[in-house]
Amino acid sequence: MDKYIAGTMRRVGVSVVVLASLSFALLTQKVYHRSPTDRYVSDEHESGCLWPPAPMRIVVPWFEDGRMSLIQGVTAAAMDLQAAHVAHRPGESVEDWLIRSELASRIKLVFPSANERLEQNRKVLSDVPVTKDLSAFERLKRWTAALGQDEPYYQGDPRQVATRLRNVEDPLITVEFVDEPDAGETDNALARSIAERPDVSAVIGHERSRVAVASAVAYEDAGILYLSPKATLARLTRHRFKYAFRMVPSDDAFAETLAAYTKHRDWNRIGVIYARFEQGEALAREFAAHLRKAWATQSPEKADDGETTLDADAAPDATRDLKLAYFRSYLPSPRDAYARTDHRELLEEVTKFEVDALLLADQFPWAAKMMRDMREMGMTQPVLGGELLDSSQAWQRAGEAADNLYVATVVDPQSKSQEYMEFQARFREHFSGLLAGYGSVQGYEAFNLLFNAIVESKCTNPLVLATTLRTTQWEGMFGNYHFDNTNAIIGRDIYIKKVYFMNGRGSFSTIYPPKPRPKVSFP
């Protein structure tokens, strides 16, 4: 009996020690550990979703290549929201109207501080040409310096059109634009520095896909919502992160549309030239696979790892009608040396093959040099490209050599939708006649999506916003879309646009709208 009592006492003692240890661990976690979303939780409400919500800072990093498209798109969205915030939308509840109105009236834009001497003296740097390769915010400095002139130095300066959004008192949404340095393809130093800031709730930006993928890791760890407006690498969302959303289809979808277009035009003799960086390789690989499917008489050949091979010798004709004439690659030169790159040796080799069209899987400015060299070598065949070539840089950098360029894109400049036509009209008013391109449209869509998610959630907590984004069907300028369980976008159409170059000026025109797609069921 004494042994039984002693054993029972020992078991009770062990249980008390275990329970005490667990209680202590939970207590110390509550005291010392703060999850990424703890900063949004208040004593009054467990979810942190009160109204008005906690102030939200959105950071917009963009690569300093001299283009302002995404910045203009985000700026235009903020301007339009503020201008229309008093209007009541049909079917909108009074509560949602009041929430949307208060949010829109309390948006503030913050640009990087320009040189103070330029700000104070308003010196006009008229000797700096607009076409010179300057960083995006170096150009902002020069535009800011000319604000005192009757004619602005450049009519597309977001600083000029967003003046009233720079001095908003007590903002609920602060949009901070930051310049992204020209670092390595996988460098996420800027993202890590942003992630360390406790005041940042969301990020919109990072143009290059590999940088976007690397940055998504930092934002996921910090619990920061991340909207990628242009990254096409499928692995951005393949990890099933909670906070990272891809707002364009993957390279596979763009490649499929390009391959279908070759079938549509009966271009059965195809060449492929791609730059050796991840997005170029992905587009080339997927394009080769979809070519065989589009012209299918047998399944495409696969490498041992299940991926379509990039080896030219292992990519023979897979169909009776299709002729994949060549599959060649080149190593991109450093950005400051791209204009001196000589592609003639490569091009001399491929000119031995007769092709109806070729895929150029590269990005600007390198693609422009390749197109100019092609023209000099007498290659006048149609050139197919992915969304990286959907830019006015096509004719600005390549000139008439871009006249036969066909690009796959999610933006249809000939769209007759009321939303898109009204957007372009307002954009031209904001930026003195400037037409919104791919980057501007994506910036506009991304900011509106985030704003509408805040209104829908009545909250600025990134975790709540991510859930709302994932479980709601959204209305965009080109139709409805939603995100799947990996946060990849579903429902965006892909178009083919052609560059027309006449009288020293270029423009895009949509020539291959997709057929009406079947309705995509939304959970």
Based on the domain organization, do 90 and 110 belong to the same domain?
Answer: yes
Which strands make up the sheet holding 495-502, listed edge to edge? 323-330, 269-275, 357-361, 383-385, 405-409, 495-502, 505-512
CB atoms within 10 A of CB 309: 18
> Is position 125 within any domain?
yes
**What local confidence, expressed as pLDDT, does residue 407 receive?**
95
Q: Same domain for 183 and 280?
A: no
Q: Is residue 216 part of a domain?
A: yes
> Which element (helix H / strand E) includes 474?
strand 474-476
Q: How many CB atoms lie within 10 A of CB 277?
A: 18
Q: Which of 358, 352, 387, 355 is nearest to 370 (CA)?
A: 358
* Number of domains comprising the chain: 2
99 plus 230 within the same structural domain: yes
Residues 6+ apart with CB under 8 A from 449: 227, 247, 469, 474, 476
CATH code, domain carrying 156: 3.40.50.2300
Residues 208 and 348 occupy one common structural domain: no
* Structural domain boundaries enclosing 290: 252-409+497-512
- Residue 514 predicted with pLDDT over 70: no
Closest CA to 310 of 334, 339, 286, 290: 286
CB 492 within 8 A of CB 478: yes
Whether 439 and 344 share a structural domain = no
Q: Do 484 and 507 reside in the same domain of the chain? A: no
Q: Do the domain assignments include residue 173?
A: yes
Averaging pLDDT over each range in 5-14, 93-102, 151-160, 342-351, which range is the top one? Answer: 342-351
The identity of residue 69, as a single letter, is S
- Among 36-40, 125-129, 179-183, 438-442, which is the least confidently predicted range? 125-129
The string of pLDDT tens digits covering residues 252-276 is 999 999 999 999 999 999 999 999 8
Q: Confirm whether 71 is domain-assigned.
A: yes
Using CA atoms, how far apart are residues 417 and 477, in angstroms rounded to an integer?
7
Q: Answer whether residue 50 is part of any domain.
A: no
Q: Identity (one letter) of the amino acid at 58?
A: I
Same domain, 244 and 218: yes
Within 8 A by CB and 6+ apart from 418, the residues are: none
Q: How far is the C-alpha of 176 from the C-alpha of 438, rounded, in Å?
A: 21
Looking at the structure, do residues 176 and 204 belong to the same domain, yes or no? yes
Name, in order, each residue with C-beta under 8 angstroms of 321's C-beta and a sequence gap of 6 or more.
268, 295, 297
Question: pLDDT tens-digit profile of 455-494?
Answer: 888 888 999 999 999 999 999 999 899 999 999 999 999 9
Residue 37 belongs to a domain: no
Task: Reply yes or no on whether the pLDDT at 523 is more than 90.
Answer: no
| Residue 76 within any structural domain of the chain | yes
Cα-based distances in Å from 117 to 121, 122, 127, 281: 6, 8, 17, 46
Residue 167 tokens, joined: 């001095």
Q: Say whether both 121 and 160 belong to one domain.
A: yes
On whether both 134 and 234 belong to a single domain, the answer is: yes
Residue spans of alpha helices (H) in 377-479: 393-398, 418-430, 438-457, 462-470
Provide CB contacts within 8 A for 410, sequence distance 6+: 248, 249, 387, 438, 478, 492, 493, 494, 495
Residue 147 lies in a domain: yes
Question: Are 209 and 287 part of one and the same domain?
Answer: no
Say if CB 56 and CB 48 are below 8 A apart: no
The structure tokens listed for 203 are 């990020």
Which is more confident, 264 or 90? 264
pTM of the model: 0.77
Residues 282 and 261 in one domain: yes
